[in-house]
Chain A
Amino acid sequence: MSAVLEASGLGKRYGHKWALSECTLAISSGKVVGLVGPNGAGKTTLLQLSVGLLRPDAGSIAVLGGHPGTGPVQLSRVGFVAPDTPTYSGLSIRDHLWLGAMMNPSWDGKLAESRIDKLGLDPSQKAGKLSGGQRAQLALTMAVAKRPQLLLLDEPVASLDPLARREFLQGLMEVVAEHGASVILSSHLVGDLERVCDYLVVLVDSRVRVAGDIDELLACHYLLTGPRRDHGDLPSDEHVVSESHTDKQSTFVVRTDGPILDPSWSVEQLDLEDLVLAYMAHAIEQDRRPKLEVHS
């Protein structure tokens, strides 16, 4: 399977601050990827690097085998929806579709019109007068109608109410089902991602903390509860992701390929939200520790 996104040591800085650093990813096609992380973690930076709106300061990135943003062919293969779904407020929906047709040789006008029709939108309505959810659907239509192989969506549902969010995701999944596009969707709402994503990338504070197929990740992470002990007491093949202790009890989130043999543990599976939270807590912990520690 070919890779839709390959990044190696990718980094981007603004002044002295690195918005994204040492990002290495290999995502194969046919997946719906959830990109999760707190605000300012680097999600927008990664997506903008992938679509050619930003230039890397370190490392490399290849999207669909090509350099992002170079040449009309590369641009036509990648669809992008930016946060707060920018549209031209003075232009009508019909104008937007016309714009898409003029600027994209691979534009599928029928698909665009039928989507707008199915959504019940009035083509003569100016984009500035649409609700947030309607603008998001317009932006998605514009990204989708050029028949891209990869769709990049940067927090497209962040400012939408639950119904509008659900409708947006329904529309998005229909597009994936029908046209087989790969999707990278960033959000800080894990609940939405759980429904639609099959691959997860967690970004915290400019670094990738975990990346993998969701089913595999959920299968190899466990929540262990038991009597108070130190994380050094755990077998070496059980990697501690996060831990918390009371004076009598310890709770660990561990990642391991083998079974948990110690009977003193109560073992549970995690759901996606818990998994993401564990890695986010771990990241904050890691970054707070002094750099003098030697990591094996």
Chain B
Amino acid sequence: MIRVTIRQFRTEGIVGFALLAALAVVLAVTGPHLAHVYDAFQSSCRAARDCAATTNPVLKMDQPLQSALPFIVILAPALVGLFFGAPLIARELEAGTYRLAWTQSVTRGHWLAIKLGVIGVAAMALCGLITWMANWWQSPLDAVNQNRFGVANFSLLGIAPIGYAAFAFALGAAAGVVLRRTVAAIAVTAVGFTAARLAVTYWVRPHLASPIHESLPLSTGSGPGFLYGDSQGTMDYNAYIQSGGPTPRVGQVVLTAPQVNVPNGWAYLTTAVDEAGRAPTSHYLFQACPVLKQFSKPQQPLQSPAALQACISRLTSTFHTVLTYQPANRFWPFQWAEMGIFLTAALALCGLAYWWLRRQYA
């Protein structure tokens, strides 16, 4: 039955692994050079002691490939779901060949288990290899950017994509069983997979572990700033605008906390608060820094930045930055957790597919 499954999916398998091989060749050809450039620059900047001030030229190399690789890694699990998962069973139900397949001497459960198992493992292996090769190629860039845990990058690294692949595949297969049409299953898989990935990234991943809250001086990083609500939008001075950060109502001003970089960690947000943890009110800010009132007169260039700076220096004695973040050493536990979530969902979908099949047919 294993060989039968492989034979029936020969075309898809060949295409998939041919693309993998093509990618491998491209990466193998360009990768070592990238690593070499990175290493060479690192040794020279260390010698000159100006590593912090200079940028590694590696960031400008192979630009097309640098831009394309994240897309490839993001899309691979989805494509595997659409082209391995959706047609797996839908094709047989659609063409009526299930009446041939289910009247040989193989039981329904055995047939389904082998199909899901063999092609599912192939899907996971394919995506796992693509991810591993991309990560290997990209490691000099990651060493420079130090942003592995960031929302966008996390999904491209490590073992999470293996979980995504398993889930997309299982979703495709289950959709195929329920809808009995390949095209419909493809549509449902595309929508469902996207929704699931977005939901986990933004609603589940932040809560997998309680983030650390660290107090830092207000002047850390890029320093604090002000954000003023105008009838036409906001006006700012040195403000770091972040999602989840405070936004001022019209006529109000807020104190924005600075952007703090956590190398290879995941910074959720920074807030500017006092010892009791309260953010300054707009009223307090206008009183402490009368120069802020200039914001209410628009279309005038910013007056006296020196006064604004002086105001900020006064505020640093009362307020500090609270950084909410996940430290870098939690990267791998998060990867395992995310892969685990998607793998569990994949298994549940396989169970659904089996249950539905037995219910509809026999």
Contact = CB atoms under 8 A, between A and B. Distances in A.
Whether A and B touch (Cβ < 8 Å) is answered with: yes
Interface in B8-32: 8, 11
Contacts of B8: 88, 91
B104 A75 contact: yes
Given A86-B96, A102-B3, A75 B105 contact: yes
Given A53-B361, A53-B362, A55-B362, A103 B96 contact: no
B213 to A, nearest CB: 57
7 contacts: A68-B362, A72-B110, A75-B104, A80-B103, A86-B96, A89-B95, A95-B7
Interface string A50-80: 0111110000000000001111110110111
Interface of A: 48, 51-55, 68-73, 75-76, 78-80, 82, 84, 86-91, 95, 98-100, 102-106, 139, 142-143, 146
Contacts of B96: 82, 84, 86
Contact of B105 (A53, A95, A106): A106
A70 B108 CA distance: 9
Counting from the closest, the 3 A-B pairs by CB-CB distance are: A103-B104, A76-B105, A82-B99
B103 A72 contact: no
B1 A52 contact: no
A12 to B, nearest CB: 10
A100 B104 contact: yes
A100 B7 CA distance: 13
A132 to B, nearest CB: 14
A105 B105 contact: yes
B87 to A, nearest CB: 12
Given A80-B99, A86-B100, A95-B7, A75 B106 contact: yes
Interface in B68-109: 95-97, 99-108
Nearest to A67: B362
A55 B100 CA distance: 17
Contacts of B97: 86-88
Contacts of A78: 103
Contacts of B105: 72-73, 75-76, 103-106, 146
A99 B4 contact: yes
A171 to B, nearest CB: 18
Given A75-B105, A75-B106, A100-B104, A54 B4 contact: no
A220 B1 CA distance: 51
B104 A69 contact: no
Contacts of A71: 107
A101 to B, nearest CB: 10
Given A69-B362, A88-B8, A99-B4, A53 B106 contact: no
Given A98-B7, A103-B104, 16 more contacts: A52-B103, A52-B362, A53-B103, A53-B362, A71-B107, A75-B104, A75-B106, A86-B95, A88-B8, A88-B97, A90-B11, A91-B8, A99-B4, A99-B7, A103-B106, A146-B105
B106 A86 contact: no
A87 B97 CA distance: 6
A142 B100 contact: yes
Chain B: interface size category: 20 to 34
Contacts of A84: 96
Contacts of B104: 75, 99-100, 103-104, 146
A72 B362 CA distance: 14
A286 B7 CA distance: 53
Nearest to B110: A72
Contact of A55 (B95, B107, B361): B361
A99 B8 CA distance: 10
B84 to A, nearest CB: 16
A148 to B, nearest CB: 10
Contact of B4 (A68, A75, A102): A102
A102 B114 CA distance: 13
A52 to B, nearest CB: 5
A68 B106 CA distance: 13
Nearest to B4: A102
Nearest to A84: B96
Nearest to B111: A103
A82 B11 CA distance: 27
B361 A75 contact: no
Contacts of A98: 7
B111 to A, nearest CB: 9
B313 to A, nearest CB: 75
A100 B105 CA distance: 9
Contact of B107 (A51, A70, A88): A70
B89 to A, nearest CB: 14
A51 B11 CA distance: 31
Contacts of B103: 51-53, 75, 78-80, 143
Contacts of A91: 7-8
A104 B100 CA distance: 12
Nearest to A154: B99
